[in-house]
Amino acid sequence: MSSELTNLLPPERVRSLRQLYFFRLATVGMLVLAGVAVIHAVLLLPSYLYLREQVREREAILTSLTATLAGAEEREVSARVTQLTEDATYLARLTETPAASTAIAAVLRAPRPGIVIRGFTFTAGKDSAEATMNVSGIASSRETLREFEQTLAEEPYVTSTDLPISAYAKESNIDFTIRLTGPFLP
């Protein structure tokens, strides 16, 4: 017998049979791939279910721990934030409020020949313009007392001075109390 086979079909029919063969081959290949995918999906299903259960358990543990810790930590953090806010507000107010030491130092810098200062009384008001200071002392004469009051009135931190007229009753060794009003901020 001869190894050469003769095909008696016309070329269009041969082409049609070849297309049908490749179509069947592609169909079988797709079915094999689909079967492999289904088998793998079935084999991976237990692992997926196990991991999903593990994730649920860990989320439940995390939620309970967060709730437990959040209660205590939130209260602690909230208390600290409140305290820090109060401290910041207080410190911010200090920059606008005159300090007694600053006000006293400003009065002591003023020249005062013939004046002996005996005491200070300082009151910081709600507004920095409302601060008051009483300066008491002894003046050697009316003229030195008048010059000292004018020197204090000319200072930029003082808006007004008040010296009672009764302070000028004596000629020398005059006891006085001058009331200063102003911001007392440098």
* Tens-digit pLDDT profile for residues 43-100: 999 999 999 999 999 999 988 887 777 777 777 877 888 898 898 887 777 677 777 7
Structure tokens at 87: 């401290």
Q: Look at phi and psi of residue 88 and say left if phi exceeds 0, alpha if psi is from -120 to 50, else beta.
A: alpha
In one-letter notation, the amino acid at residue 67 is A
Taking 3-state DSSP, the helix, strand and coil percentages for the chain, each rounded to the nearest 5, stand at 60, 20, 20
Task: Encode pLDDT of 85-139 as tens digits.
Answer: 898 887 777 677 777 777 788 888 888 888 999 998 888 776 655 788 899 999 9
Cα-flanking dihedrals φ and ψ of residue 10, to 5°?
A: -70, 160
